[in-house]
Amino acid sequence: MTSSDFCVGDPSLPRGPQGYACKDPAKVTTDYFVYTGFRGEKTPNNVFGNNVTLAFSNVFPAFNGLGISMARLDFVVGGVIPIHSHRTSEVLILVKGSIIAGFIDTNNTAYYNRLEIGDVMVFPQAMVHFQINVGKTPATAYVSLNGANPALQLTPTSLFAGNLPANIAQKITLLSRKEVMQMQRIFGAA
Amino acid sequence: MTSSDFCVGDPSLPRGPQGYACKDPAKVTTDYFVYTGFRGEKTPNNVFGNNVTLAFSNVFPAFNGLGISMARLDFVVGGVIPIHSHRTSEVLILVKGSIIAGFIDTNNTAYYNRLEIGDVMVFPQAMVHFQINVGKTPATAYVSLNGANPALQLTPTSLFAGNLPANIAQKITLLSRKEVMQMQRIFGAA
Amino acid sequence: MTSSDFCVGDPSLPRGPQGYACKDPAKVTTDYFVYTGFRGEKTPNNVFGNNVTLAFSNVFPAFNGLGISMARLDFVVGGVIPIHSHRTSEVLILVKGSIIAGFIDTNNTAYYNRLEIGDVMVFPQAMVHFQINVGKTPATAYVSLNGANPALQLTPTSLFAGNLPANIAQKITLLSRKEVMQMQRIFGAA
Amino acid sequence: MTSSDFCVGDPSLPRGPQGYACKDPAKVTTDYFVYTGFRGEKTPNNVFGNNVTLAFSNVFPAFNGLGISMARLDFVVGGVIPIHSHRTSEVLILVKGSIIAGFIDTNNTAYYNRLEIGDVMVFPQAMVHFQINVGKTPATAYVSLNGANPALQLTPTSLFAGNLPANIAQKITLLSRKEVMQMQRIFGAA
Amino acid sequence: MTSSDFCVGDPSLPRGPQGYACKDPAKVTTDYFVYTGFRGEKTPNNVFGNNVTLAFSNVFPAFNGLGISMARLDFVVGGVIPIHSHRTSEVLILVKGSIIAGFIDTNNTAYYNRLEIGDVMVFPQAMVHFQINVGKTPATAYVSLNGANPALQLTPTSLFAGNLPANIAQKITLLSRKEVMQMQRIFGAA
Amino acid sequence: MTSSDFCVGDPSLPRGPQGYACKDPAKVTTDYFVYTGFRGEKTPNNVFGNNVTLAFSNVFPAFNGLGISMARLDFVVGGVIPIHSHRTSEVLILVKGSIIAGFIDTNNTAYYNRLEIGDVMVFPQAMVHFQINVGKTPATAYVSLNGANPALQLTPTSLFAGNLPANIAQKITLLSRKEVMQMQRIFGAA
């Protein structure tokens, strides 16, 4: 009897609302349960000064159906993960450097803290949050999210890096036309 | 035997992670299940040109524990509900006027449409979305959300109307210092 | 990368317990998120004097996996939505006319109210409920349900319009044989 | 450290949407996890010829928070559990006699079978269903439901044994006035 | 319109994280909802002196998507269901004989009781538990679990009947090498 | 308006099935969202050669209601986390040393791997699993679990360190009497 204790995702089969269909368990070896993509050094090279390595279920199919996922965050000095949100809650553990992490609730209250190595911070479900390397060295953190496909929605790129017209972006943010154009330039969308 | 088929919230009792404790069912009359706060005209008078009347479980305690809630959206000509998100999915039905409604997914793809009276649009869970009155008359819509306490997180006010320091807001958005200060002025926070 | 922030249903693929498999996101345009089937006038022409337009996930596939759905209810003067239930909770907003809406809990207590335009009533999960147009004009309401496929089970048609034998229907309702036969005639099942 | 592996309900504390608050685990002894109310003979003495012994979380508080409950069904010869529904799914096992059990789906299709001792039948979530003793001896069955507080809503008593006015009952069922009055008499409500 | 009120599993289609894809409802007859595998006598013939007849969704596909399942437990005199666990909670009803049933919580506290015919015991989600026939006759019980695919993980066979190397089994149990080898012999794995 | 975007647990209020009641949000400062108990060195000093620092919701109340939690695992050379399980799934990331981690499914198939620094392994919901330091240095790992109160049930201590009588422990494991007594001595329970 093949196992139905897990459902390693098979992206070649139709996806459903709860995730991928399961790879034939008879073909699932122990290696499927280990993700090695966090090994080694990660070099941030984007405008934010971060490197985000996502281990969501599309990257690590063993997470499929298990309601959990991870990501590794690397920051240059002064690097930042810009304001963003997920469908889920998130917990972060800092393993290198020193960062400020925070979230904002629906009363517009920001809760932010400076974290040291070994510190854990939790970001409640769907609330926008951010991390900034405020130390004098690069920083690294791991985050876990209680969903296999938790979504990473970066507010700045949502507004300025995709196909949203500038006039709509301006209207729904109250930003100036000039600033919207500048942001689109930063993200190469204008 | 008192009923346990509903759990009308009693805000005087301790709240738990799933909502309020239940009011004594013996004291729950039929009126508790009707919300009349959407009656009549609603006059937008804020900087966005909107009036949002929330019927979440803190306002309409009968929703407590039932996993659903509503809101009424009124727009002046040109009025807007700025970019925002919820913990839940949302469905909107337009009952007056003509609006553009849209959401943006995590690939930065915007899906937006012009809606006519009677049209329904759905916004997937936690995705940022917006509505703009593009017609020549005021507009009204009703939205339902599949959570009793779904949260309404407005991106602009989260960043600029609360206690988030300007230097952090700048850092996590890539906006210019000048624009951040201008936004804080709009919301009276600077 | 194609989006996994939504799962627009593809009825041509196998359905699972949580709904339809997802249409290829690359083929999902913005029109998929808008439902126009509620536009215009709806003319009740059945024995109950109602017209129910369901926007469940089989009709509006964008609801698939998002845990929400809608329906439009139209009533002639004196029209009625007969006693029925869903797997989910329901919220109703009245946009035209005046109706009595109510539900019955498991203690056999009926909670019913006369609603005016703009009034909202909530029906707790799975409880039988009903709506009656008691005004002097046609009436229209919209309902939302916190499930993509919430089921609409009408008690009278369940018992008398399908393949349930009359002797069983009689036995499990305590109705008279004569009345059961009369009900089956009303629904054309005898 | 007291246990948080269970949450035996304490009806003296406020109830929440997910059930009762937990009795102090330090005071929970092994006896709390055993329910003895199904022992011995049960004598049906109501108009339906049944005896339903519910072990829901209000009766057996150990079920609180665990998402499961039970009931014992006893039937005289010809006895019946009338048409009814729950918030949950149900599974039945027949341990004495022979019954017909069935449910009706939202297409008005009835699925019903004659069961023998040891047979199991499942009733999908929220669908109306029924059981009839069609054997020549009393019958007994046990049912389990995947909710601690799954609700038992009997259609006939909902309509005719509570406070629902006869004119509304008539309107929402299409039954004749005469039959409605007769049903109310059966249940002592008129 | 075919029914979407149930999702009888079709093992020939891809399985997803929430269970099997649905068999075409048009081909689902009433027989699909009845399981007859518990009929008659069951003769224990294993080393534990038990016979466990599982009616999980892979055996009884009607359970698929409905969140419930069952099993029948038969014991010889002195027979035992060894220490084991499930993903779900479980409720047991004893229909023949007399057993001791118990579970252990995460404080290492064992809650165990002697049950008589008709007694019900509940085992909280995921806690290890066991049953022992302590009467002078064979015993039979039925259990229900609030999951269609709840898993049955027997601790002794997990450790000693599969491919886990003896040195790892020894290391993670603190058992002696000799005892581990003896256990592997009992289960034929060494 | 106080926030209902989180529910920091207040252990002085009654607990419910979904966790603790919420501390008054007005009294929740930013420090509540940071857990510092993982800082510094952790010295294993038990019979297993491990030190497990749990950050479940009873220790870090900000996790309450958010469906996630963490733990830090430290191992001496040769140290082990013995066979154990949770109500939830778990993901582990190794940050120091080299360990073998594995789980066993309900077919008695063990899936185990040697992990290096930065490697991630996932353990499916409720499956027994273990970790062994097989390197030449101490090892440290962090685990996240998708529940605020996920339970840690160690099989050896469940059986031998609590109040379970030796004769029952023997009966439900098939271990020899002598070995059971030896295990009880190891855990100081005999």
pLDDT digits (tens, 9 = 90+) for B9-56: 999 998 999 999 999 999 999 999 999 999 999 999 899 999 999 999
Looking at the fold, whether B64 and B133 belong to one and the same domain comes out as: yes
For residue C87, the enclosing domain spans 15-151
Touch criterion met for C and F (3+ Cβ pairs within 8 Å): no
DSSP 3-state of F129: strand
Displacement of CA E43 from its chain's centroid (Å)? 16
The reply to whether C166 falls in a domain is yes
CB contact under 8 A, F64 and B17: yes
Measure in Å the smallest separation between the Cα of D164 and chain B Cα atoms.
12
The reply to whether E113 falls in a domain is yes
The reply to whether A8 falls in a domain is no
Q: D87 and D126 in contact (C-beta within 8 Å)?
A: yes
Looking at the fold, whether B146 and B158 belong to one and the same domain comes out as: no
Question: How many C-alpha atoms does E178 have within 13 Å on its Cβ side?
Answer: 4
F158-176 tens-digit pLDDT: 999 999 999 999 999 999 9
B105-131 tens-digit pLDDT: 999 999 999 999 999 999 999 999 999
For D16, the closest of B1, B5, B22 (CB atoms) is: B22
C137-162 tens-digit pLDDT: 999 999 999 999 999 999 999 999 99
Looking at the fold, whether D58 and D98 belong to one and the same domain comes out as: yes
Q: E172 and F130 in contact (C-beta within 8 Å)?
A: yes
In chain A, the residue whose alpha carbon lies closest to the alpha carbon of F93 is: A142
Looking at the fold, whether F91 and F34 belong to one and the same domain comes out as: yes
Q: How many structural domains does chain E have?
A: 2
Helices B166-173, B177-186: axis angle to 10 degrees equals: 120
Looking at the fold, whether E68 and E147 belong to one and the same domain comes out as: yes
In chain D, the residue whose alpha carbon lies closest to the alpha carbon of B2 is: D58
The reply to whether D105 falls in a domain is yes
F117-148 tens-digit pLDDT: 999 999 999 999 999 999 999 999 999 999 99
CA distances for F77 relative to C28, E170, F132, angstroms: 54, 17, 9
Mutation target for F interface from B7, B10, B12, B15: give the one with most F CBs within 10 A: B15
Looking at the fold, whether C125 and C33 belong to one and the same domain comes out as: yes
Looking at the fold, whether A102 and A190 belong to one and the same domain comes out as: no
pLDDT at A188: 87
Looking at the fold, whether B122 and B32 belong to one and the same domain comes out as: yes
For F158, the closest of E104, E153, E159 (CB atoms) is: E104
Measure in Å the smallest separation between the Cα of B21 and chain D Cα atoms.
4
Count of beta carbons in the 10 Å neighbourhood of residue C176: 16
How far apart are alpha carbons A45 and A50 in whole angstroms?
A: 7
For residue B102, the domain's CATH number is 2.60.120.10
| Residue A4 scores a pLDDT above 60 | yes
B77-89 tens-digit pLDDT: 999 999 999 999 9
Question: How many C-alpha atoms does F110 have within 13 Å on its Cβ side?
Answer: 23
Measure in Å the smallest separation between the Cα of E139 and chain C Cα atoms.
35
User: Phi and psi (nearest 5°) for A19?
Assistant: 130, -165
Displacement of CA D153 from its chain's centroid (Å)? 8
Looking at the fold, whether D176 and D132 belong to one and the same domain comes out as: no
A100 beta partners: A114, A132
Count of beta carbons in the 10 Å neighbourhood of residue E54: 17
Identify the H or E element spanning F100: strand F99-104
pLDDT at E165: 98
Touch criterion met for E and B (3+ Cβ pairs within 8 Å): no
Chains in contact with E, where contact requires at least 3 CB pairs less than 8 Å apart: A, C, D, F
Looking at the fold, whether E141 and E177 belong to one and the same domain comes out as: no
| Residue B190 scores a pLDDT above 80 | no
Looking at the fold, whether D168 and D83 belong to one and the same domain comes out as: no
E28-44 tens-digit pLDDT: 999 999 999 999 999 99
How far apart are alpha carbons A119 and A114 in whole angstroms?
A: 9
ipTM over 0.90: yes
Q: E107: which DSSP letter?
A: T
pLDDT at E3: 73
How far apart are alpha carbons A21 and A14 in whole angstroms?
A: 6
- Cβ partners under 8 Å of residue E69, min gap 6: D91, E54, E55, E56, E57, E60, E63, E144, E145, E147, E148, E149, E150
Chain D positions touching C164 (Cβ under 8 A) are 102, 104, 108, 110, 112
The reply to whether C89 falls in a domain is yes
CB contact under 8 A, C151 and D106: yes
pLDDT at E188: 87
pLDDT at D189: 67
For B158, the closest of A87, A104, A162 (CB atoms) is: A104
Split at pLDDT 50, 70, 90, the class of E14 is confident
Angle (CA) A80-A84-A90 rounded to 5° is 95
Largest alpha-carbon pair distance within chain A?
A: 64
How far apart are alpha carbons B107 and E142 in whole angstroms?
A: 50
How far apart are alpha carbons A128 and B128 in whole angstroms?
A: 11
The reply to whether E7 falls in a domain is no
Looking at the fold, whether E106 and E160 belong to one and the same domain comes out as: no
| Residue A70 scores a pLDDT above 80 | yes
pLDDT at F190: 55
